[in-house]
Amino acid sequence: MTRHIRHAAVLCALLLAALLVNAVRVQLVEAGSLETNPANRRVPIARFGQPRGDILVDGRPVTGSKDTGEQLRYERTYANGPLYAPVTGFASQVYGTSLLEEAEDGLLSGTDPMLAPLPLWNDLTRARSPGGEVRTTIRAAVQRAAFSGLGGKRGAVAALEPSTGKILALVSAPSYDPERLSGTGSAVADSWAELNRAREKPMLNRAIRRTYPPGSTFKVVTAAAALDSGTVTDLDAPTRSPDPYTLPGTRTRLTNEGDGCADASLRQAFQWSCNTVFAKLGVDTGLEPMVRTARNFGFNDADLRIPSAVARSNFDTSLDKAQLALSAIGQYDTRATPLQMAMVSAAVANGGSVRAPHLVDRTTTDDGDLVATTGQRTLRQAMHPATAMRLRELMTDVVEKGTGANAAIPGVVVGGKTGTAQHGVDNNGTPYAWFISWAQAPGDIEPSVAVAVVIEDAAADRGDISGGGSAAPIARAVMEAALKAAADADGGP
Amino acid sequence: MTGTRVASAPPTVPAARVPRRRGAELALLVLAVLLCVYGYCAVGLARHGSVPPGAAGYGAGLGLLALLAHLAVRLRAPYADPLPLPIAVLLNGLGLVLIYRLDLETPHDEAAPAQLIWSTAGVALFITVVLLLRDHRLLQRYAYVSVVAALALMIVPIFFPAVNGARIWIRFGGLSIQPGEFAKVLLAVFFASYLAANRGALAGAGRTVLRFTRLHLPTGRVLGPVVAIWLLSVGVLVLERDLGTSLLFFGLFVTLLYVATGRTGWIAVGLLLAALGAYAVGSFEPHVHGRVQDWLDPFASIDAGAGPNQLAQSLFAFAAGGMLGAGLGSGHSILIGFAAKSDFILATAGEELGLAGLCAVFVLYALLVERGYRAGLDVRDPFGQLLAIGLATIIALQVFVIAGGVMGLIPLTGMAMPFLAQGGSSVVTNWIIVALLIRVSDSARGRLAAREGG
């Protein structure tokens, strides 16, 4: 019997070996795929097991964390949700993250290896660092001015500091409170469904994720191309433009809203936003210089990140002359995000140089140690510095004598350009009202703010020439707030 | 081969004097209790940053139980193997730590206090068996009483309402008892006794398998009672839908039959029967069929959008443990939900102690089984041999079936991890098993001592 007992013992040993091999399989070999299985709650439990780092505006957090005591413990709160939603985005237990919450997720949730006291420290200790903080470039006063300026009208505002690319305001209206998406309950699911269903798309960040036909504001780009290419050398020389202008190769006659555009000089045409002059100017300049200049301003760039991805603004690269004529006045397939048009304005203000727009000034650990700063860099030189100087002159004229009078600020040099963009089938949609501008405080050597405003449902009054009525006052309020904030920052402690 | 009855003296026993090794047992017990108290404190430190207030009481209680058991062994089984008792104390104490740890996640459903009471009852029964049962051969007389009692215990729960699909519980006065657990020991006693008495005939009958027709009748006559008992117990278990226990009884039966007769023919017949039974039950019984499907594809419910099932959650827990584990109190095995403290307790060990800790637990079980087999090899009487092998095999099969089940090695069948899992009947039964192993090993080594001394 002894031998048979030994055989049975061997069987038991085999069972043990099977268990041990299987344990190695589950706990080591397949552990990676099991741990990352989307149904494995350990990942979200760890993720929401500690307060999420905050996003700061002017040094004050605009986000918070609430301890719910539930399985996914900490929920995101927002101090002023709708105001900053286009900046922060949301951080939901169920629906993931968006915008800054998404772009800086590793830092905010504490997984960024840069937060660890030593390299590989967290891998060794299986610990997670407290969430870091994201300090934005947004100025609260500028953001508020833009938000209240839009006042719930569908539209967007982007404001930049031309010399650095810092984004001072990023507003999209109508907005929403991202806190409605924090947590796990059925209320969150309802909010999500409602926000996605809403016709006005409150979760769409119109400032960076939606493109509009830029209309007459694009004439800044066309003028820059014409001046840079030498098509126009004298701002005050007549341009030999007919009014109306028949698009080359067609019988379509292009007209203007006002008079006095026939044979106008570039200065006059810019001041009164003459479509005929700029359509012809685009054709005269030619496709290749137009495309090159548009690209240098930032059009056709699908890779811009602030750090959230920015929708690609478009200027077609293969056009016939009629299409080029329309594209040159910001119609046809020409499309731009509000941020892109703010970059156009900023380029003029900054001597032709386009600074990379960015939202994050620097990131720190939870106790304030620096993790990273966003370096200021030049994306491209949009135009010759001399051309930029002449465009500043043209844009100043628009505000002082032309369609942009509503943006004027007493004692401040303001340059601007209005725009009205037709859209829809046969251009029967309510036109988009645009205004792009920059402002230079007295005593400053260069403009300190550049703004783009777009309003989708501007009072259906086509007589309101090109955004000067509805969009320009918002731009003015934003510029005033920015100049004041800059003055306070300089004079303050 | 079957005639070999001489149990050769184990080489570890010196010829001059057989050491009692009670001191080693005591030292190991102290180590086991300290390890358990350390685990208890580790849970508190991880959860609340402080040593739990009950740590001293827990340590003292466990230590006292261990000491009393040790004294009983010292008094009535002085030559017993020194390993089984410390291993049992360590596993039982670790089980209490794991259950206490899981209780922290379910503050309204605490299982550790009841488990502590059952553990006390188990140690009390251990002491009773060691003190009162002077010679394991006494049990041989009660073979048929055992089998009747075992069948009764298995049949009774059929008349009670099913709990979670299995009719294996009796509930009265707030207590729930799983009589099938006790039936394991009784069946082991019966199988050992019956096979010890009839193994000659069975071994002879085994030869007739080749000449099937002529000697058919004796085979049936000898095997009849055993097969009948087996069929009956399996039938009852299928009715109760407790496939794990059914599998365990069958494995026990085949193992003991092989050990007693040495006839591989019986193994072949047994495996064939098992395969047929498993196929039939797996195909036609919906409950078991579902388990087989889960085993084949643990993540099917996730793909179907219904979220991870228990097995998937269990695998997630083991995977989260990795090599060194998350640390006691720092895992999320409670996600398994229902049965996290009983059938799936091993997942908590795997997640919080890691592969290292899990292997240590497996090795503890392996040592316990090995000591059982050692006693079986050392003891002289066939009943004692078969009893020790049977009891050790129960532990081995049980660990394999449930550990393999929760780790996706074999289809999952509900069963308690010996000593670790929540479940009073199981803990009490396991303590009785250890007591019987202690008794058999004492006879084996005591006989050697007596021979040396005389």
DSSP assignment of B161-201 equals: --BTTB---EEETTEEE-HHHHHHHHHHHHHHHHHHHHHHH
Tens digit of pLDDT for each residue in B9-46? 455 544 557 788 899 999 999 999 999 999 999 999 99
CA separation (Å) from B318 to A22, A295, B298, B302?
11, 54, 14, 18
DSSP code at position A38: T
Query: Across the interface, do A27 and B389 touch by the CB < 8 Å criterion?
Result: no
The residue ranges of every structural domain in chain B are 22-453
Q: Is A12 on the interface with B (CB under 8 A)?
A: yes
Closest to A435 (Cα-Cα) out of A423, A422, A451, A413: A451
Q: Is the pLDDT of residue A463 over 80?
A: no
Q: What is the pLDDT of residues A287-313, one digit of tens each?
A: 999 999 999 999 999 999 999 999 999
Predicted confidence band at B220 (pLDDT cuts at 50, 70, 90)? Answer: low
* A323-333 mean pLDDT: 90
Sole residue written with tokens 């308690």: B416
pLDDT digits (tens, 9 = 90+) for B129-188: 999 999 999 999 999 999 899 988 888 888 887 776 667 777 776 677 888 889 999 999
pLDDT of B4 over the 50 cut: no
* Catalytic annotation, residues of A: 216
Residue A9 to residue B370, Cβ atoms within 8 A: yes
Q: Which residues pair with residue A434 across a beta bridge? A: A419, A454
Q: How many CB atoms lie within 10 A of CB A405?
A: 14
Q: Where are the beta strands (DSSP E) in A197-267?
A: 245-246, 253-254
Smallest Cα distance from B53 to chain A, Å: 23
pLDDT reported for residue B216: 36
Contacts of B355 in chain A (CB under 8 A): 23-24, 27-28
Mean pLDDT of B256-281: 79
Contacts of B403 in chain A (CB under 8 A): 19
Whole-number pLDDT of residue B401: 92
Are A98 and A90 within 8 A, CB to CB? yes
Q: What pairing do the DSSP bridges indicate for beta strands A167-173 and A155-160?
A: antiparallel
Q: Is the CB of B362 less than 8 angstroms away from the CB of A11?
A: no
Instruction: Check: CB of residue B72 under 8 Å from CB of residue B60.
Output: no
Quick one: tokens of A130? 């407290």
Rounded Cα–Cα distance for residues A329 and A279 (Å): 6
What band does B7 get if pLDDT is binned at 50, 70 and 90? very low
Residue B258 pLDDT exceeds 90: no
CB atoms A26 and B408 under 8 Å: yes
Q: Give the three-state DSSP class for A480.
A: helix
- A288 secondary structure, DSSP code: H
Closest CA to B42 of B32, B23, B55: B55
**CATH topology for A209-362+374-491?**
Beta-lactamase (3.40.710)
Phi, psi of A421, rounded to the nearest 5 degrees: -110, 120
**A113 falls in which pLDDT band (50, 70, 90)?**
confident
Mean pLDDT, range B100-112, rounded to an integer? 90
C-beta of residue B422 within 8 angstroms of C-beta of residue B341 = yes
B145 CB neighbour count, 10 Å cutoff = 13
Contact B362 A23 (CB under 8 A): yes
Confirm if A110 and A346 have CB atoms less than 8 A apart: no
Dihedrals phi, psi of A270, to nearest 5 degrees = -70, -40
List chain B residues with CB under 8 Å of A30.
Answer: 315, 319
pLDDT tens track for A149-168: 998 789 999 999 999 999 99
At B212 the pLDDT is: 46
In Å, the largest CA–CA distance within chain A is 118
* A26 close to B (CB below 8 A): yes
Q: Which residues of B are less than 8 Å from A38 in CB distance?
A: 302
pLDDT per residue as tens digits for the range A210-252: 999 998 899 999 999 999 998 988 888 888 888 888 888 888 8
Can you give the pLDDT at residue B13?
47
| pLDDT > 70 in chain B, percent | 87
Question: Does A7 sit within 8 Å of B258, measured CB to CB?
Answer: yes
Q: What is the pLDDT of residue B274?
A: 76
Distances (CA, A) of A109 to A102, A195, A310: 10, 25, 23
Chain B: closest CA distance from residue A129 (Å): 16
Is the model more confident about A487 or about B85?
A: B85
Q: Does A27 touch chain B (CB under 8 A)?
A: yes
Phi, psi of A165 (to 5 degrees): 85, 5
Task: Please determine, for residue A452, whether its predicted confidence score (pLDDT) is greater than 90.
Answer: yes
pLDDT at position A151, please? 87
Quick one: pLDDT band at residue B222, thresholds 50, 70, 90? low
Q: Is the dihedral of CA B443, B447, B449, B453 positive or negative?
A: positive
Q: What's residue B2's pLDDT?
A: 41
For residue B5, pLDDT over 60 is answered with no
Contacts of B444 in chain A (CB under 8 A): none
User: What pLDDT sits at residue B208?
Assistant: 47
- Residues of chain A in contact with residue B322, where contact means CB-CB under 8 angstroms, are 27-28, 31
Task: Tell me the domain boundaries of chain A.
Answer: 209-362+374-491
Inter-CA distances, B162 with B170, B242, B315, Å: 9, 11, 28
- Which residue(s) pair with A158 in the sheet? A170, A452
Query: Can you tell me the distance from the alpha carbon of A227 to that of A45, in angstroms, rounded to the nearest whole number?
Result: 59
pLDDT of residue A2: 86
Which secondary-structure segment (H or E) carries A421? strand A413-421
**Mean pLDDT across A97-101:** 92
| Subunit contact B316:A40, Cβ cutoff 8 A | yes
The average pLDDT across B236-246 equals 74
* CA nearest neighbour of B407 among A462, A403, A21: A21
| Residue showing tokens 């251990």 | B126
What DSSP assignment string belongs to B132-149? H---GGGGGGGHHHHHHH
Distances (CA, A) of A392 to A161, A294, A350, A444, A488: 16, 18, 10, 15, 26
Average pLDDT over residues A190-202: 92
Write down the residue that tokens 């532990």 correspond to. B395
The per-residue pLDDT for range A243-264, each reduced to its tens digit, is: 888 888 888 888 887 777 888 8
Q: Is A377 in the B-facing interface, judged by CB distances under 8 Å?
A: no
Whole-number pLDDT of residue B165: 66
Q: How many CB atoms lie within 10 A of CB B152?
A: 12
A302 in contact with B, Cβ within 8 Å:
no
Q: From CA A232, how far away is CA A384, in angstroms rounded? A: 14
Task: Calculate the CA A489 to chain-centre distance.
Answer: 24
Alpha-carbon distance of B51 to B31, in angstroms, equals: 19
| Structure confidence at residue B213 as a pLDDT band (50, 70, 90) | very low
In this complex, is the C-beta atom of A69 within 8 Å of any C-beta atom belonging to chain B? no
> CA geometry: angle at B129 spanning B124 and B135, to 5°?
165
Selection from B330, B327, B435 nearest residue B77 by Cα: B435
Mutate to test the interface with B, among A14, A27, A72 (most CBs of B within 10 A): A27
Q: How close are the terminal C-alpha atoms of chain A, in Å?
A: 95
